[in-house]
Amino acid sequence: MGTVTAPWKQLLLNALESNSHLKHSSYVQLATIGSNGRPSNRSVVFRGFHENSDNILINTDTRTRKVEELKHCPFSEICWYFTDSWEQFRINGRIDIIDGSNPDSEKLQIREKSWFASSPRSRLQYLGPYPGLPQLSEEPQETSVDPSAGPVSEFCLLVLDPEQVDYLNLKTNKRLMFTSTQSQIGEKCWTSERINP
């Protein structure tokens, strides 16, 4: 299945570049639907795009609530606000969860590549206590990770396949809605429409 370059992707790359001096520019808010039907939101780190696609990569712990919520309903939306350029991107689509039990060897390679692209400090968080449970000890446990070892079982990769992108530029008062469709030959095609801010 081929992919035509998404027209919103260059806008996002430009926003990332112009805001790169701000550490928080790589943080996005990820919204899911909770098992109770209510919205659930948290900040996550943008880990880049998967190769030459418009698919967005996010690392997470398999034990987190977001993974359970995505297993229940794979649809999600991320919201990104760039404080210097006054741009907002709301990107929604379906998320693929790639954990160590995934039967697809190509997906497991993507997961491993994302693991090794993470800092050793970032990798340590997956060896900690179960996220969201009461803290039983005030003392942090000493843990270490072999820098050459592959991903631990708690590490998983979320791959967001965008279906719609709502772009808002508050400096120029411009808003664009990008929507994807599948062509007859299986390519993802994007249309864009200027809408009222």
- Give the predicted TM-score (pTM) of the model: 0.91
Domain-embedded: residue 135: no
Range of the domain at 115: 7-129+150-195
Domain-embedded: residue 2: no
pLDDT digits (tens, 9 = 90+) for 87-129: 999 999 999 999 999 999 999 999 999 999 999 889 998 988 8
| CATH number for 30 | 2.30.110.10
The Cα 138–Cα 160 span in angstroms is: 36
Domain-embedded: residue 138: no
Domain-embedded: residue 123: yes
Into how many domains does the chain fold?
A: 1
Q: Does residue 52 register a pLDDT over 90?
A: no
Residue 125 Cα distances to 37, 54, 102, 129, 136, angstroms: 29, 27, 21, 9, 17
Domain-embedded: residue 137: no
Domain-embedded: residue 85: yes
Domain-embedded: residue 103: yes
pLDDT digits (tens, 9 = 90+) for 127-171: 888 888 888 777 766 677 788 889 999 999 999 999 999 999 999
Domain-embedded: residue 139: no
